[in-house]
Amino acid sequence: MMNVNTRGTYLTSKACIPFLKKSKVGHILNLSPPLNLNPLWFKQHCAYTIAKYGMSMCVLGMAEEFRGEIAVNALWPRTAIHTAAMDMLGGSGVENQCRKVDIIADAAYSIFKRPKSFTGNFIIDENILKEEGIKNFDVYAIAPGHPLLPDFFLDEHPDAVMEEKESNDSVPEVKEEKLQLQEESQLQKQPQLQEQPQLQEKPQLQEKPQLQEQPQLQEKPQLQEQPQQREQPQLQQQPRPRQQPQPFVQSMLPQKPHFGAVEETFRIVKDSLSDEVVRATQAVYQFELSGEDGGTWFLDLKSKGGKVGHGEPSDRADVVMSMATDDFVKMFSGKLKPTMAFMSGKLKIKGNIALAIKLEKLMTQMNSRL
């Protein structure tokens, strides 16, 4: 990271500076972000952030050092740009959330045609093109009208990005189908409890103070043995009324379907395995799922035919992924890109990153089934 980004930028600029000084419009343009010290952008990818910020610091230093001789600026996209790197990190379909490289080319042209006095700036592609009078940016979109992924370092919080993406994602998911069925059954039970005004109003039971106000009647066991009074405990012992005053039970209900969604996800993954997938992957993955329904699961893509199961794998895992159960199911169903989960801190990876990328490609193939 440091050799390519920071050191590479510095040495390339150093080699070009003598020639740029002789030019009337000498200009250095780094593709690096504005300096943003929000710790969010250092979390999980500290080396990359430092390397990119090293390029941005070259802009600050060189712009001042060569002021009047060479213009030095930085350019950064507001949204994700469709490149080969984005295909590798984002997987199939990510291009719909990106803009074409043309927007960077047009923004760079707008910068290069300005005088040397325009220096030391951190420019966002969309902003400078708006200054040029461009209002319709759909021409730069791969899929006009589709929500775009904001690029990093611009304080566009990844959680908000993923929420927007999930709300516009139409990939079917086994988990949500099962939860909806179970939640619908729960919702159907809940209104039944609320629609029983007889238990709350109990006009007949509350309107019988005469039995308590007549002392002579209290001494008569026959009144106590009346079937109406015996029905009172029967009404209280009914299971539905007793569920009504227990709101905490509702918070516990998602646990069983939640765990079932994880188990169902692994079942579908198992059905999707083949010798071809094993030969192409050759890795053992371990998943540490956090939360009340969390646990340890494994995906063995080294053994013949592949294996999945609960607990740790028999062989040492090549990659260990830690995340919440909700995010795990979303990720395997295609509603949460692993790259976005990793960059936002929702997914932590230990081990071979290259093998983790292989698993992401496998997820893309299984999305239609999940």
Q: Which residues contact 55 (CB under 8 A, 6 or more apart)?
A: 5, 6, 9, 30, 31, 32, 74
How much is the pLDDT for 344?
73
Q: Is 218 inside a domain boundary?
A: no
Task: Confirm whether 191 is domain-assigned.
Answer: no
Q: How much is the pLDDT for 172?
A: 35
Domain boundary among 140, 172, 205: 140
What does the mean pLDDT of the chain come to? 77
CA distance 287 to 269: 14
pLDDT of res. 5? 96
- What is the distance between the alpha carbons of residues 361 and 277, in angstroms, rounded to a whole number? 11
**Given this model, what pLDDT does residue 342 score?**
80
Specify if 24 maps to a domain.
Answer: yes
CATH of the domain at 352: 3.30.1050.10
Backbone phi, then psi, for 319, in 5-degree steps? -135, 130
pLDDT digits (tens, 9 = 90+) for 184-235: 444 444 444 344 444 444 444 444 444 444 444 444 444 444 444 444 444 4
Least confident of 23-27, 60-64, 161-165, 300-304: 161-165
Q: Who contacts 64 (Cβ-Cβ below 8 Å, separation ≥6)?
A: 120
User: Could you tell me which residue, 132 or 304, shows the higher pLDDT?
Assistant: 132
Residue 298 domain flag: yes
What gap in Å lies between CA 11 and CA 8, rounded to an integer? 5
**Winning range, highest mean pLDDT, from 17-31, 151-165, 297-311:** 17-31
Instruction: Determine, yes or no, domain membership for 103.
Output: yes
**Domain boundary at 116, 140, 164, which?**
140
In a domain, 223, yes or no: no
CA distance 325 to 330: 9
Helix (H) or strand (E) segment spanning residue 284: strand 284-290
The count of structural domains within the chain is 2
Is the residue at 293 inside a domain?
yes
Supply the pLDDT for residue 60: 97
Q: Does 69 score more than 90 pLDDT? A: yes
Domain boundary among 114, 140, 166: 140
Burial grade of 179 (CB within 10 A; 0-12, 13-18, 19 or more): middle
Tell me how far apart the alpha carbons of residues 102 and 88 are, in angstroms, rounded to a whole number. 20
The answer, as to whether pTM is greater than 0.85, is no
250: in domain:
no
Residue closest to 58 by CA, chosen among 47, 46, 68, 70: 70
Catalytic residue among 10, 48, 53, 285: 48
User: Could you read off the pLDDT of 332-358 as tens digits, one per residue?
Assistant: 888 887 877 887 778 888 888 778 877
Q: Note the pLDDT of residue 366.
A: 66
Under 8 Å between Cβ of 363 and 328:
no
CA separation, residue 88 to residues 1, 24, 195, 359 (Å):
17, 40, 54, 12
Which CATH number is 44's domain given?
A: 3.40.50.720
* Residue 180: predicted pLDDT: 44
* Residue 245, pLDDT score: 42
Best-predicted range by mean pLDDT among 92-106, 161-175, 225-239?
92-106
Q: Among the listed ranges 1-5, 246-250, 269-273, 355-359, which one has the minimum average pLDDT value? A: 246-250
Distance, in Å, from the CA atom of 158 to the CA atom of 114, rounded to the nearest integer, reads 34
**Size of the chain, expressed as the number of residues it contains:** 370
Annotation says 109 is catalytic: no
**Range of the structural domain that residue 42 is part of:** 5-140
Q: How confident is the model at residue 370 (pLDDT cuts 50, 70, 90)?
A: low
For position 331, what pLDDT does the model report?
86
For a pLDDT cut of 90, what percent of the chain falls above it?
A: 42
Q: What gap in Å lies between CA 308 and CA 299, rounded to an integer?
A: 5
* Mean pLDDT lowest among 178-192, 281-295, 348-362: 178-192
